[in-house]
Amino acid sequence: MKNITLLNINNIIYTKLLFYVNPKNNNYNRETELLKLDGVKIMPILEQLKEATQLTNPWINSWKNEGKKVLGYFCSYIPEEIIYAADILPIRVRARTCTDTPMGDAYLSPTACSYTRCCLEQINRKEFGYLDGIVSCNCCDQIRRLYDNIRYKAPFSYHYIMGVPGYVSETTLDWFKYELSKFKVSIEKNFNTSITDEKLGDAIRLFNNSRKLLKEIYELRKHDSPPITGSDVLNIISAGLSIPKNEFNALLTQQLEEIKNKEGISDYKSRIMIIGSMLDEPEYLQIIEDLGGLVVTDSVCLGTRYFWDMVDETSSPLDALGERYLSKVSCPRMTDGHLKRAQFMMDMIKEFNVDGVIFQRMKFCAIWWAEIFMLRDKLKEEGIPFLDLERDYILSGAGAMKTRVQTFIEILEAR
């Protein structure tokens, strides 16, 4: 707190500056919502979590100031626990500040999705200057080409691409466990460290705690009057992908207590489930929620598919990670998982009392295009209304989207 005194900012309300001075302050007073320290108020927890979603944030700065490494990764199939167990911070690469993609357009195919273009652009512009390396996997062809181009055009000192099988069987599970052990050895060699079973076990427990807390938030969203919006939930999950998990868990625990004591939202018109690939813009969900559609659950990369399944804490850590990541709620990169995904969607619809589904489909994302085509058939069979929205990673065409969402919500209301 000495910096605060130095800056002599007593009685400043809600200043970001204060937050940057002391990002780790967990001394939270739920009754007043704002914490008072020496007459100074700091950000409520949700605002802190929103701050954490930025590509660069005080937690990353503080981590780097301690001389520690940060690795960026692209897909929910990368086991962050292995990175964390090496005392390296795993950061999910997102490119929220991207506005145009001349570099992405020049180096990636015209049919590459805009997420990959934006990532290449932002990496080339050194927006992730703090990264000490990139970890990827063969999750989809476009991510693979992104990885190639990063190596070629904006190389880091460490690159790793992991093989993830496209379907689950005893053989592929063995193969995947072997891939995990190779990845572990690569990190150990490159960063001159040792990842013991004990460290891996600790990381697994920490990440499982995070998953449990997020699930508790989702439980509250089942209520008739959920105490949190979908856009705020997306902010919270995104924060967890950008800061150390122990600090995230501490903030999340406080946030959960706060949410439990909040009055629920009852003035919505319909309950919406969102399905699709990468979605890290709370503004996208905000548009839907401003029109009266409360987002109550999802199957997206930065949603349930990221945290829903736990890692077994009782078996050997690498085996447990292999089993969890290969059998988790899958995305359509897993060729054998459609029926399970359709079942997961139907279970979610039932448990969260969903009125309608919105598919958000990134342009040129072939795997999701095919999947959504099949999921729509299932919804038709079950008589559940849906809306299929194609989108770019950069939020554009909000006007057209609003018109379509508004009509959809009117249809749901009329039922």
* Residues engaged in binding ligand SF4 (CB under 6 A): 75-77, 113, 115-116, 139-140, 142-143, 277-278, 301, 331, 333, 362, 365, 367-368
DSSP-derived 3-state class of residue 323: helix
User: Given the complex with ligand SF4, which of 116 and 122 has the nearer CB atom?
Assistant: 116
Q: Which is nearer to ligand SF4, 243 or 331 (CB)?
A: 331
Smallest separation, CB 332 to ligand SF4 (Å): 7
Measured from the CB of residue 331, what is the shortest distance to ligand SF4 in angstroms? 3
Q: Which is nearer to ligand SF4, 77 or 207 (CB)?
A: 77
| Shortest reach from residue 369's CB to ligand SF4, in Å | 9
> Measured between alpha carbons, how far is 293 from 236 in angstroms, rounded to an integer?
19
* DSSP summary character for residue 230: H
Element (H, E) at 401: helix 398-414
Quote the least distance from Cβ 339 to ligand SF4, whole Å: 17
Shortest Å distance, C-beta 139 to ligand SF4: 3
Check: CB of residue 164 under 8 Å from CB of residue 77: yes
Smallest gap from residue 140 Cβ to ligand SF4 (A) = 3
Contact 59, 51 (CB under 8 A): no
CB of 120 to ligand SF4, least distance (A): 12
Query: Which lies closer to ligand SF4 via its Cβ, residue 372 or residue 409?
Result: 372
Residue 357, strand partner residues: 273, 386
Q: How far is the CB of 9 from ligand SF4 (least distance, A)?
A: 42
Our CB check for ligand SF4 shows the closer of 59 and 368 to be 368
Nearer to ligand SF4, 113 or 252 (CB): 113
What is the four-CA torsion angle of 180, 183, 184, 190, rounded to 10 degrees?
A: 180
Per the CB < 8 A criterion, the answer to whether 349 and 94 are in contact is: no
- At its nearest, how many Å lie between ligand SF4 and the CB of residue 262? 31
Give the full edge-to-edge strand order of the sheet including 134-137.
89-92, 70-73, 134-137, 159-162
DSSP readout, 161-222? EE---SS--HHHHHHHHHHHHHHHHHHHHHTT----HHHHHHHHHHHHHHHHHHHHHHHHTT
Rank residues 88 and 301 by Cβ distance to ligand SF4 and give the closer one: 301
Residue with tokens 């940057």: 20
- Give CA separation, 301 vs 72, 154, 203, 333, in Å: 16, 25, 21, 12
State both tokens at 63.
């981590």
Q: Which helix (H) or strand (E) holds 388?
A: strand 386-391
Which residue, 51 or 371, has its beta carbon nearer to ligand SF4?
371
Q: Least distance (Å) from ligand SF4 to the CB of residue 328? A: 9
Helices and strands per DSSP (H, E), number in the chain: 18, 10
Judged by CB, which is closer to ligand SF4: 128, or 191? 128
- Measured distance CA(130)–CA(56) in Å, rounded: 8
Distance CA 390, CA 387 (A): 10
Cβ 142 to ligand SF4, closest distance in Å? 4
Q: Shortest CA distance to 71 belongs to which of 135, 163, 150, 161?
A: 135
What's the CA gap between 162 and 11, in Å, rounded?
Answer: 51
Tell me whether residue 83 or residue 291 sits nearer to ligand SF4 (CB atom). 83
Task: For ligand SF4, give the closer residue by CB, 73 or 408.
Answer: 73
